[in-house]
Amino acid sequence: MATKRADVVSVTDLSRSIDRAVAIAAKRAAVKPEPSTLLLNWEILGRILREFEDLNAADQFAREVTQAVKLKGVQADPAIVKIGRQILCGFIERGKLPMQLPRG
């Protein structure tokens, strides 16, 4: 059985790629994200949105960021999370999505 080596992505490369993606997406979606990236449980990466028109703009922002983050080994889907009054927009790694366990 052939083994597949895991891709390694440096934190610096990921951070730079996210910063570039956020700058592009913020202009296109007309939103104002916080300057620092948040990481929740090593699964969801994103920025808190303070100023936006509606949730469609937040969704567009998350999709734009996900499309613009281009690093080998990072496979992501857009994510929007509302925690209290804060909206976190970004992406979640596909490999980290929750799995449904079979009933035993």
Domain segments of the chain as ranges: 11-96
pLDDT (0 to 100) of residue 5: 56
Residues of the chain with pLDDT under 50: none
Give the pLDDT of residue 4. 58
**Amino acid identity, position 47:** R
Residue 78, phi then psi, degrees to nearest 5: -65, 150
> Helix 11-29 and helix 55-68: axis angle, to 10°?
140
Per the confidence metrics, is the pTM higher than 0.85?
Answer: no
- The CATH number corresponding to 11-96 among 3.30.980, 3.40.1350, 1.10.287, 1.10.3470 equals 3.30.980
- Return the DSSP state at 84: T
pLDDT in the model for residue 50:
78
The pLDDT value given to residue 91: 82
Instruction: Give the per-residue pLDDT at 80.
Output: 87
What is the dihedral angle through the alpha carbons of 53, 92, 74, 1, rounded to the nearest 10 degrees?
Answer: -160
CA-to-CA distance for 21 and 88, rounded, in angstroms? 15
> Which pLDDT value is given to residue 41?
64
3-state SS class at 17: helix
